[in-house]
């Protein structure tokens, strides 16, 4: 076994590898960019060395710099994690040439699988079912267009190299093909350095099933069963689980055998994942399965497999790379229980899942135990930067069966609070309660077709939302009263007039006005009373007054009666905000001054194109003097590995373009202006 390894990655996966290395007594070496000088993987490793600037191309994609660090520090092996250089065959070759072990498959296997086109052709020759399409090397746009027309629509354009949902487009009509091809190639070029694409027939309403495989240097290849990843948005997985409730035992066995066949066909060594799409009939029953690709690395969702098999796949990787045989034979792989994974991201689902950045002012996650696992690369106080994936943590839950695992997931999400950049927690909570997830019927396109079902209601008019709003108001009132008593030094004197003071009058409760922001909507409330007995009015909802009795707030729990109905709610707050949860839904309110001075600063906002977040300008599609229509694309910026299209707010003539391709821009920066009319 190795004594010291270098981890050529960052964030959550680097911390994950460090954890197993510590268990095995292996020293770890981290590398980091300028943006990651204070990151958790740097702090947790035994040694850490800088390798360049904040952009991946200047640091984590610099194979030469990484290998030089490994040589200088005496690392015997390099673990690439996932992403960055993990599936780069040239890097794997260079590592081996330097006399350092690469903790992953052979470069030859990676080359066969690194191209989706080549992988598809190889699998077809090996007898693995594939979807009809075009994988040729002729990438002339006109030729690709003819091939697309011959395959038929709908079809998918896919980057031949890379993964993670980048460089993929669905095209439903011939007229849409060339524009989608250009966008797909540009995204692939920026993400993976290569813009070759392949075309394949798009299977409607498919299920996404992947099989974890493992091989060793002696030629043994096994599988560790499946993970279902059908809950996706724009090809990005948002929930993964094992086992799949969709598969029959017969189909599971067939797919496992096909995955092993695929691994043996390319002499596969170390961890890999064979991805399939599975069709379904009108009744939702499984149809045929088709090879999609092989990911020649450890997958982001590998903890799902670890929890149901009881195996440490990173330890398997290390042992196989050190020349040891696979720890278990196929017949010794035992699966128990059910595991589900979701990813907490710094993103705003209500703004099109716009990635976020900024300091994690508060990061509260549930305690890890036998049922909840948390893999993260950040802690409270860290910053989510614009340069990399905005993942905050992976949450993986486990229990004896799927209903219990879903209940664990909902409970774990309810215990989360993130303050700083916006997050997708509420979206994940709605996902975990949605009938298609609970019933195990969601297909890969469902989220994109029905995204509104996972978004919050426009108005808090449901009884549950109303109770949360009343609860938040009561929690704020009780907190104010406690603060007033403490300031007066009478917190332990129930006979003091301050014991029921509301800050305005002594000895009795007067009227208080409060104002909150709820998802940028201002809500004003009126409250009468004190000491847990209130009458609350919410004019924005209705003209009714709600009676609250017996309200008590202790240890983050609020108990109260609303119009005689007893409720118990979770309440978290810090004086500036309050987060309420009833076990199913969440409400966050930010306290704001009751009285405000209106500003005209927003005037003229329809005359400019602004950056929605920090990023890099990829392409500028307009010039001063150009006439544009409302909604016409003016510029494209890249942030957190995503392309964002910036469009004209109205029809008019471009007055100024204030950024060029390659420029880094800050959030809210004015990038283009329209002539005032």
Taking only the tens place, the pLDDT of each residue in 415-434 is: 999 988 889 999 999 999 99
3-state secondary structure (DSSP) of residue 346: coil
pLDDT of 603 reads 33
CA–chain centroid gap for 478, Å, is 36
Work out the average pLDDT over 18-24: 98
pLDDT of 118 reads 76
User: Does the global pTM surpass 0.85?
Assistant: no
pLDDT of 31 reads 98
pLDDT band, residue 502 (cuts 50/70/90)? very low
β pairing state of 615-620 and 236-242: unpaired
Tell me the pLDDT tens digit for each residue of 385-406: 988 999 999 999 999 999 999 9
pLDDT of 505 reads 46
Position 642 pLDDT exceeds 80: no
Q: Tell me the pLDDT of the chain averaged across its residues.
A: 89
The Cα–Cα gap between 88 and 63 comes to 10
pLDDT of 597 reads 42
Q: CA 293, 297, 301, 304 torsion: positive or negative?
A: positive
Q: Please indicate whether residue 600 or residue 674 has the higher confidence score (pLDDT).
A: 674
Tell me the pLDDT tens digit for each residue of 69-110: 999 999 999 999 999 999 999 999 999 999 999 999 999 999
Position 594 pLDDT exceeds 60: yes
pLDDT of 615 reads 81
Position 493 pLDDT exceeds 60: no
pLDDT of 604 reads 36
C-beta of residue 592 within 8 angstroms of C-beta of residue 518: no
pLDDT of 494 reads 45
pLDDT of 463 reads 62
Q: Please indicate whether residue 533 or residue 120 has the higher confidence score (pLDDT).
A: 533
pLDDT of 92 reads 97
C-beta of residue 231 within 8 angstroms of C-beta of residue 304: no
The Cα–Cα gap between 607 and 670 comes to 10
Q: Which two tokens stand for residue 42?
A: 């740097």
Q: Please indicate whether residue 250 or residue 483 has the higher confidence score (pLDDT).
A: 250
In 3D space, the residue among 125, 433, 407, 59 whose CA is nearest the CA of residue 261 turns out to be 125
641 phi and psi angles, rounded to 5 deg: 65, 20
Tell me the pLDDT tens digit for each residue of 134-182: 988 899 999 999 999 999 999 999 998 866 677 889 999 999 999 999 9
DSSP character string of 544-567: -EEEEEEEEEETTEEEEEETTEEE
pLDDT of 664 reads 82
Among 19-23, 304-308, 499-503, 657-661, the range scoring the smallest mean pLDDT is: 499-503
pLDDT of 602 reads 34
Q: Please indicate whether residue 279 or residue 42 has the higher confidence score (pLDDT).
A: 42
Tell me the pLDDT tens digit for each residue of 535-592: 999 887 777 889 999 999 998 899 999 999 999 999 887 767 888 898 888 888 888 8
Position 459 pLDDT exceeds 80: no
pLDDT of 466 reads 85
C-beta of residue 272 within 8 angstroms of C-beta of residue 243: no
pLDDT band, residue 464 (cuts 50/70/90)? low
pLDDT of 82 reads 95
The Cα–Cα gap between 478 and 531 comes to 7
Q: Which residues are catalytic?
A: 297
pLDDT of 430 reads 95
DSSP 456: P
C-beta of residue 338 within 8 angstroms of C-beta of residue 243: yes
Q: Which two tokens stand for residue 83?
A: 């992403």
Tell me the pLDDT tens digit for each residue of 333-390: 999 999 999 999 999 998 889 888 889 999 999 999 999 999 999 999 999 998 899 9
Burial profile 178-209: b = 16 or more Cβ within 10 angstroms, e = fewer: eebbebbbbbbebbbebbbbbbbbbbebbbbb
192 phi and psi angles, rounded to 5 deg: -125, -5
C-beta of residue 634 within 8 angstroms of C-beta of residue 648: yes
pLDDT of 595 reads 64
pLDDT band, residue 194 (cuts 50/70/90)? confident
Would you tell me how many other CB atoms lie within 10 Å of the CB of residue 521?
A: 11
pLDDT of 513 reads 86
């Amino acid at each position: 076994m190795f004594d010291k390894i270098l981890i050529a990655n960052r964030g959550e996966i680097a911390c994950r590898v460090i954890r197993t290395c510590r268990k095995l007594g292996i020293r770890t070496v981290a590398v980091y960019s300028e943006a990651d000088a204070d990151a958790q993987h740097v702090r947790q490793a035994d040694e850490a060395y800088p390798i360049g600037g904040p952009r991946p191309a200047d640091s984590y994609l610099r194979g030469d710099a990484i290998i030089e660090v490994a040589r200088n520090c005496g690392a015997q092996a390099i673990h690439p994690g996932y992403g960055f250089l993990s599936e780069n065959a040239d890097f794997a070759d260079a590592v081996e040439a330097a006399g350092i072990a690469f903790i992953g498959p052979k470069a030859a296997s990676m080359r066969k699988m690194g191209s989706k086109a080549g992988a598809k052709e190889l699998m077809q020759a090996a007898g693995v079912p594939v979807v009809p399409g075009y994988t040729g090397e002729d990438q002339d746009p006109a030729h690709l267009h003819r091939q697309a027309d011959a395959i038929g629509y709908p079809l998918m354009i896919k980057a031949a190299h890379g993964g993670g949902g980048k460089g993929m487009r669905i095209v439903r009509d011939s007229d849409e093909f060339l524009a989608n091809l250009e966008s797909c190639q540009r995204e692939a070029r920026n993400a993976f350095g290569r813009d070759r694409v392949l075309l394949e027939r798009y299977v409607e309403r498919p299920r996404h099933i992947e099989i974890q495989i493992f091989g060793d240097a002696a030629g043994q290849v096994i599988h560790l069963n499946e993970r279902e990843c059908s809950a996706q948005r724009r090809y990005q997985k948002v929930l993964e689980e094992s086992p799949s409730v969709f598969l029959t035992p017969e189909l599971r066995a067939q797919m496992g055998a096909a995955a092993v066949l695929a691994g043996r066909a390319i002499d596969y060594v170390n961890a890999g994942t064979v991805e399939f799409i599975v069709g379904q009939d009108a009744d939702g029953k499984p149809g045929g399965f088709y090879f999609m690709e092989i990911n020649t690395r450890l997958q982001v969702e590998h903890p799902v497999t670890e929890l149901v098999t009881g195996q440490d796949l990173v330890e398997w990787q290390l042992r196989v790379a050190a020349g040891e045989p696979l720890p278990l034979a196929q017949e010794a792989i035992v699966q128990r229980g059910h595991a589900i994974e979701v990813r907490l991201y710094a993103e705003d689902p209500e703004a099109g899942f716009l990635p976020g950045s900024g300091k994690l002012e508060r990061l509260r996650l549930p305690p890890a135990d036998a049922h909840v696992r948390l893999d993260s690369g950040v802690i409270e106080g860290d910053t989510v930067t614009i340069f990399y994936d905005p993942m905050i943590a992976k949450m993986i839950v486990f229990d004896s069966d799927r209903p219990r695992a879903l209940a664990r997931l909902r409970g774990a999400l309810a215990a989360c609070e993130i303050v700083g950049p916006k997050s997708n927690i509420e979206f994940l909570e709605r996902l975990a309660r949605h009938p298609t997830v609970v019933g195990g019927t969601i297909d890969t396109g469902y989220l994109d077709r029905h995204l509104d079902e996972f978004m919050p209601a426009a108005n808090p008019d449901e009884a549950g939302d109303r109770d949360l709003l009343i609860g938040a108001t009561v929690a704020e009132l009780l907190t104010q009263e406690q603060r007033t008593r403490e300031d007066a030094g009478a917190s332990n004197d129930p006979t003091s007039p301050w014991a029921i003071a509301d800050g305005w009058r002594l000895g009795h409760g007067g009227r208080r006005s409060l104002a909150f922001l709820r998802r940028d909507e201002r809500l004003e409330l009126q409250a009468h009373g004190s000491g847990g007995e209130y009458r609350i009015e919410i004019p924005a909802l209705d003209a009714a007054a709600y009676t609250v009795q017996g309200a008590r707030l202790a240890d983050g729990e609020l108990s109260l009666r609303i119009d005689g109905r007893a409720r118990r709610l979770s309440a978290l707050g810090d004086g500036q905000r309050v987060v309420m949860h009833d076990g199913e839904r969440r409400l966050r309110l930010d306290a704001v001054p009751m009285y405000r001075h209106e500003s005209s600063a927003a005037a003229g906002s329809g005359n400019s194109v602004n950056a929605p977040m920090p990023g890099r300008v990829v392409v500028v599609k307009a010039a001063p003097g150009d006439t544009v229509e409302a909604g016409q694309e003016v510029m494209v910026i890249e942030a957190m590995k995503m392309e964002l299209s910036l469009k004209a707010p109205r029809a008019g003539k471009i007055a100024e373009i204030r950024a060029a391709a390659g420029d880094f821009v800050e959030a809210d920066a004015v990038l283009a202006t329209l002539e005032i009319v």
